[in-house]
Structure 1
Amino acid sequence: MKIVVLAGGTSTERDISLVTSHYVCESLRRNGHDANVLDVFYGIDDNKAASFFTEKNDLDELEKELKAKSHEIETEIKNRKTIRQGFFGPNVLKLCKEADVVFMGLHGANGEDGKIQGTFELLDIKYTGTDSLSSAISMDKDLTKKVLVPNGIPMPKGIVLHKGEEAKDIQFPCVVKPANGGSSVGVSIVNSKDEFTKALDYAFESDDTVLIEEYVKGREFSAGVLDGKPLPVIEIVPLKGWYDYENKYADGATKHVCPANIPDDITKQMQHWAVECLKVAGVTIYGRVDMLLDENNNIYCLEINTLPGMTPTSLLPHEASEAGISFDELTQKVIDLSINR
């Protein structure tokens, strides 16, 4: 098949998306597909577009080139708003229409939040992962809570704060995080009023809406779901601190234990909640739910990831491997499920 691996974009997770797309594209090529990586924001010129599906791009060089452009993003966004050029780069929609399917290698805003999925649905472009509505619900942590909690999903208590509003009666410790975002960008664990002020500023750099949640002291886990079926639960053990951006992506910073060393009944309960979270939010194909387990064995669901990372340190491929599904089998299954949805 002719496959566009859609990468990059403009979110705070842009560089992680480039790594995910690199490894996915390598896998798709091993599976016999004509696959190339395409930056959704920067696109490519007409000459490269003409041979996109016949000439394989050098993935190492392309990743370096696109990462080098990451620091230009804010300036380029302002320029495009001035000339009303729009989000999609040159030839992006053209090549996506020509492809048999688009593998969504994007993470974060303008990629995982349903906007691109909605565009593709209107243009009848096949793409991997769940649909636009469930993507939007899962990306917005405030909206996720409003959908999941009334359906009995256990989640930490919290409030929403919009930019310009004053926070009152905050209990410490607490967690401050942007309502839209991933990879723990903009997230802080706060123990005092001074820390809280700094944490709000940090979170508002990423989003105009912030969640302030009770701090749950506990072990960190993630439970993946593929085609409605749970994968083995994985425990995330940072060697220092908590599972922030640095610990997520720095080699050797975090230990992953899969299957998690927990009693069978807790494993089954986590898997149950993971399946329920995706079901209630309408998420199909695949996804991952992050959770906490406190000292009294209470489970708290934190968020749904509708486009889980596919890097060498990513959780979902690790869980799939433990279930006997290789990385190449995983990428192929995601494509097959998406095309046949």
Structure 2
Amino acid sequence: MKIVVLAGGTSTERDVSLSSGSKIYRALKNRGHQVILLDVYLGYESETPVTEQLFELDVDWAKDIQAVSAEHPDLSHLKDLRRDGGKSMFGPNVLALCNMADIVFLGLHGANGEDGRIQAAFDLMGIPYTGTGYLSSALAMDKHITKQFFRNAGIPTPAGITLKCGEKADPSSVPYPCMVKTACGGSSVGTYRVDDPRDLQKALDDAYTFGDDVIVEQYISGREFSVGVIDGKALPIIEIAPLEGFYDYKNKYQPGSTIETCPADLSPELTAEMQRYAEMAYEALGMRSYARMDFMMDASDHSIYCLEANTLPGMTPTSLLPQEAAVIGMSFEDLCEKLIEVSLK
């Protein structure tokens, strides 16, 4: 197959996306596909018209991709790399090459990639792509909307309030500790634990730098889990235990920062309950193909809370979905092929 792997982009998860994209690219190349890895924003500069012969070139499209750093990337100079000024999300020749492909494998994360905008554009252009559609992508990207859908479907989720466009909160009205997070972020960028009322406004101000809407949410003290869902069926549960702090950007992508156990050490009853909630969340948001749901379990009474849904889960060397798939005998290459299969279906 001719496949374009799209990665990069303009979100705070750019580096994570490039890491996912390079790993997907190499896996599909190893399976004999004709694959091109493109940064959706920077594209492919060419003085001559692009043709399908680009898919046949013996070049390493991922040779310049670096490991994910401990800090989220500085995007301030990204536009300077575009000759055309970078007004369009799609870089030079991206759409032309995607039109030539049998399918586009979306290795994008975060805004302008995981939020349904690119999916909607591809739907209008008739370009097949991996992952769920534009509407479920948009719903899952907004944690405030996601929580409303979870509650309506009977899926437990932490209590919280949403503040808009710089709105302040009365520190005395919030239980502590609490979590402050941007409503439309990912990879725990813009997420803060607040233990003292005096620190609440600082956390809100920092979260507002990543988006207009911010959620102040009940903190669940206990164990953290994630459950992948492929074609409506839950994978084995993985438990996430950071060595320090919570599962933030650094702990997600720096090897050795987190202990991950799959399958998680849970009773059959709790395993079945959490997997059922993951499948319910997938259904409630109208998802297709695949996704990943994140959970907390209260240490005192083992109550389960669904935190959010991820429509394009990470595919980096430390990512969770590939680890879950490996437990059922699915290699990374097998997983990439499976995600193409269910997406084309």
Partner of 2:104: 102
Partner of 2:63: 61
Partner letter of residue 106 of structure 2?
A: M
Identity %: 48
How far off its partner does 1:72 sit?
A: 7.1
Partner of 1:334: 339
Stretch moving more, 29-38 or 12-21? 29-38
SS at 2:88's partner residue? Answer: coil
Please give the alpha-carbon distance, in whole angstroms, between the structure 1 residues aligned to 2:93 and 2:162: 39
Contact 2:17–2:109 under 8 Å retained in 1: yes
SS at 2:98's partner residue? Answer: helix
Partner letter of residue 326 of structure 1?
A: S
SS at 2:23's partner residue? Answer: helix
Partner of 1:24: 24
Residues 114-146 of structure 1 show CA distances to partners (whole Å, capped at 9, x for unaligned) of 000000000000000000000000011011012
Please give the alpha-carbon distance, in whole angstroms, between the structure 2 residues aligned to 1:66 and 1:256: 18
Please give the alpha-carbon distance, in whole angstroms, between the structure 2 residues aligned to 1:223 and 1:72: 30
Partner of 1:85: 87
How far off its partner does 1:74 sit?
A: 2.9
Structure 2: unaligned runs, 5 residues or longer: none
Contact 1:287–1:305 under 8 Å retained in 2: yes
Partner of 1:184: 188
How far off its partner does 1:205 sit?
A: 1.2
Using structure 2 for the length normalisation, give the TM-score: 0.93
Contact 1:8–1:66 under 8 Å retained in 2: no
Establish whether residue 261 from structure 1 lines up as the match of residue 260 from structure 2: no
Q: 1:321 to 1:156 in 2, by over 3 A?
A: same
Please give the alpha-carbon distance, in whole angstroms, between the structure 2 residues aligned to 1:238 and 1:79: 36
Partner of 1:36: 36
Please give the alpha-carbon distance, in whole angstroms, between the structure 2 residues aligned to 1:215 and 1:64: 34
Partner of 2:230: 226
Partner of 1:319: 324
How much is the aligned-residue C-alpha RMSD, in angstroms?
2.1
Structure 1: unaligned runs, 5 residues or longer: none
Partner of 2:150: 148
Q: 1:251 to 1:76 in 2, by over 3 A?
A: closer
Higher helix proportion: 1
How far off its partner does 1:181 sit?
A: 1.1
Please give the alpha-carbon distance, in whole angstroms, between the structure 2 residues aligned to 1:32 and 1:188: 43
Please give the alpha-carbon distance, in whole angstroms, between the structure 2 residues aligned to 1:65 and 1:265: 39
Please give the alpha-carbon distance, in whole angstroms, between the structure 1 residues aligned to 2:44 and 2:67: 12
Report how many aligned residue pairs link the two structures: 337
Please give the alpha-carbon distance, in whole angstroms, between the structure 2 residues aligned to 1:164 and 1:223: 33
- The partner residue of 1:244 within 240, 244, 248 is 248
How far off its partner does 1:163 sit?
A: 2.0
Please give the alpha-carbon distance, in whole angstroms, between the structure 1 residues aligned to 2:22 and 2:40: 14
